[in-house]
Structure 1
Amino acid sequence: MFDLLGLSTEHEAVYRAMLQRPDLTVAGLAALLAVPPEQVHDALDVLSDLALVRVAADGDRLRAVRPQPGLMALLAKVEAEVAVRQQQVEATRAAIAAIAVAHDDYGRAPEGRSLDGVDAVRERLAELAHTASSECLSFTPGRAQSPDTVQAEVPLNEAALRRGVRIRNVYQDSFRNDPATLAHARWMATLGSQSRTTATLPMRMVIVDRRTALVPIDPEDPRRGALELSGIGVIAALVALFEQVWRSGVPFGTAPSRDEQGLTPQERDLLGLLADGHTDESAARKLSVSVRSVQRTMSSLSERLGAASRFQAGLQAGRQGWV
């Protein structure tokens, strides 16, 4: 019944027995359930990990936590995990829809054109900034924008904001460590712009007035240029992707909150990347941080997990529901 909470039938039987007979020892529980004492010990390890049993006040035995707080806490954790998973599913659905619309059955691209090289992209962005009438949405992955890029954006963004254009941008968490980006985001906020951060971003992207979108030709090498898209379907999918990421972002000026395990979004994403087989180097690229930063974070997480090695940290993280 409680497989969803991480309890097998055997674990549930031991837990129910402890609720009914709190006076029984391990041997007594084994006799009551007609199972070997080793099976009771194994069940107690799992129940302890799930915080369903605790050391009694006398310190000599374990007692079962009442079902309402104990099981409901586990259910709340599962519900939170499901909510996060659903967000990931919706983001993936939007990305799939974007790809599907971008390439129909005959492999033809939707309405749009190719902008080759960084200069062509910057020129087109300047044009769009001058003509934008209602909204500009963007993803800005990486560590920090160059001073030249920030300086070039200032008059364009200011003019658009003063015309009443709503600007929302999502940076990566790594930008929080860059004083110039923080100063730029604060200045933009005084004019009405909104900025948030998230641990990872799918790609660089700009959407103007929900009619035109610029996405990289090669997400791994933005210097190659961008694709300018204007098909109704693909724009709708990209907007849905933006809104999904925006909802999960943390506003600039607010520290990223920690979840019930005490993890920041960046720490949780790092654990997920490493669990998926990424090296320190590839995880650093995904998070737009240095390899040294990844190693420092993993050292801190290993210490919090009481793990002596990276392998042991992975096992402990899995047992405690960190990944």
Structure 2
Amino acid sequence: MAQANLDFLGVPPDDEEVYRLLLRKGHFRQSELGRKLSGDAVAQDDVVEIYHRLTEWGLAREAPSGQLAPISPAKAVEGLVERKVAEFRAELEAEASRRGVVDSLLADHEKSLTEAARTTDVSESIQYIEGMSAVRAVIDELTFFTRTESVTTNPNGVLTEESIAHARLLDTRVLRRGVYMRSIMGAAALDSPVTMNYVRELTALGAKIRISYQPLERLIICDRAAALTPIDPAQTAKGAILTRDPGLVAPLVALFERMWGTAQDLPAGEEREDADAAPITEFEQRILRSLATAEKDETGARDLGIAVRTYRKHVATIMRRLHATNRFQAALLARERGWI
């Protein structure tokens, strides 16, 4: 059987030769490489360069002892393929940008929206999308056409591996186009390593993300022209409402800006922001006092002039900040902190 080469994955013959030598020998030091290649076509002046290039290709790793050890063939080839795919994607995106493909498609898309706006009333500019698969399809389309700004909220704050896998392609695609992305996460995100790893990944790509200790409304707004909200905030799996009507989108943008203004920047480094770091608001103090005086949530909500559901969301947020397991404990911890 003829030997298959790695040149189609971009690995030069000299580098591949050293990698194969590593696979046969197991490992060796940089000082030993010259002797092992003696008599071969590889010039000795290139030994050091090849040695370091192998780690860049992901074909080998340098152990703490200073020895160079090979990466397993399956993992090495997988990494080379991913690298080649990334290069190919970058080339295609650059060519698409040079040709103005997205701008051309957007022009047709916006033209159709403008024409539709002239012939439809407000009720026809609102769409009800039922089921999560249909909602995801709409999000895919919205993010594809987004070119200036994308803002989202995640009241729950915790992302699963599955949801991250779906979101990563969309988010990175938007960020690579230079879209200004902002997102507000519920405070529970700080206790989820999986979520925080993805959040750090996005911020490294340019996204702006904040943490909110206040109740959040679920929103996705693209280019301040289209907004997506859940049909039922308590059961988001039911579906979503998509609106492009300026009179409806503008208040949702204003709502997001208010939530953004009260949210906190991500804690520096990998440290978890403690509850003390975010000062308690006057309204939260009123909520805490009501826990001690109101016998029922309905009474507390009525005294504060808010809906019972909103009252309970505030109580849950405060309990999470205090790491309290019940309301009585929350009141005690709040007194210890001097909040009430």
1:199–1:269 CA contact under 8 A, matched in 2: no
State the one-letter code of the partner of 2:127. R
Which of 245, 248, 253 matches 1:231?
245
Partner of 1:128: 142
Which piece of structure 1 moves more, 107-116 or 151-160?
A: 107-116
Cα 1:305–1:238 shift into 2, 3 Å: same
1:258–1:265 CA contact under 8 A, matched in 2: no
Q: Is 1:153 equivalent to 2:167 in the alignment? A: yes
Partner of 1:210: 224
Q: Is 1:118 equivalent to 2:146 in the alignment? A: no
**What whole-Å deviation, never above 9, does each CA across 1:99-118 have from its counterpart, x for those lacking one?**
xxxxxxxx974622011011
Partner of 2:58: none
Partner of 1:7: none
How many Å separate the matches in 1 of 2:241 and 2:170?
Answer: 21
How many Å separate the matches in 2 of 1:303 and 1:286?
Answer: 14
Partner of 1:305: 335
Spell out the pairing of 1:206-285 with structure 2 (5 A cutoff): 206-254=220-268, 255=273, 258=276, 263=280, 271=288, 274=291, 276=300, 282-283=312-313
State the one-letter code of the partner of 1:141. P
Cα 1:263–1:147 shift into 2, 3 Å: same
Cα 1:253–1:269 shift into 2, 3 Å: farther
Task: Give, in angstroms, the shift of residue 192 of structure 1.
Answer: 0.4
Cα 1:213–1:288 shift into 2, 3 Å: farther
Task: Give, in angstroms, the shift of residue 237 of structure 1.
Answer: 0.5
State the one-letter code of the partner of 1:249. A
SS in 2 for 1:129: helix
**What whole-Å deviation, never above 9, does each CA across 1:103-134 have from its counterpart, x for those lacking one?**
xxxx9746220110111111111111111101
How many Å separate the matches in 1 of 2:331 and 2:275?
Answer: 16
State the one-letter code of the partner of 1:175. A
How many Å separate the matches in 2 of 1:132 and 1:164?
Answer: 10
Cα 1:321–1:192 shift into 2, 3 Å: closer
Q: Is 1:162 equivalent to 2:176 in the alignment? A: yes
Which piece of structure 1 moves more, 194-203 or 130-139?
A: 194-203
2:126–2:242 CA contact under 8 A, matched in 1: yes
How many Å separate the matches in 2 of 1:225 and 1:288?
Answer: 29
SS in 1 for 2:325: helix
1:110–1:231 CA contact under 8 A, matched in 2: no
2:187–2:212 CA contact under 8 A, matched in 1: yes
How many Å separate the matches in 1 of 2:143 and 2:186?
Answer: 22
Task: Give, in angstroms, the shift of residue 305 of structure 1.
Answer: 2.4
Larger Rg: 2
1:215–1:228 CA contact under 8 A, matched in 2: yes
How many Å separate the matches in 2 of 1:166 and 1:321?
Answer: 37
How many Å separate the matches in 1 of 2:232 and 2:326?
Answer: 30
Which piece of structure 1 moves more, 285-294 or 230-239?
A: 285-294
Partner of 1:196: 210
Q: Where does the alignment leave 5 or more consecutive residues of structure 2 unmatched?
A: 1-120, 295-299, 302-307
Percent identity over the alignment?
Answer: 23
Q: Is 1:184 equivalent to 2:181 in the alignment? A: no
SS in 2 for 1:123: helix
State the one-letter code of the partner of 1:271. L
How many Å separate the matches in 1 of 2:200 and 2:168?
Answer: 12
State the one-letter code of the partner of 1:153. A
Q: Say what the alpha-carbon RMSD is for the aligned residues.
A: 3.8
Task: Give, in angstroms, the shift of residue 295 of structure 1.
Answer: 2.4
How many Å separate the matches in 2 of 1:263 and 1:285?
Answer: 13
Aligned residues: 202
Task: Give, in angstroms, the shift of residue 304 of structure 1.
Answer: 5.6
Spell out the pairing of 1:286-305 with structure 2 (5 A cutoff): 286-287=316-317, 293-295=323-325, 299=329, 301-303=331-333, 305=335
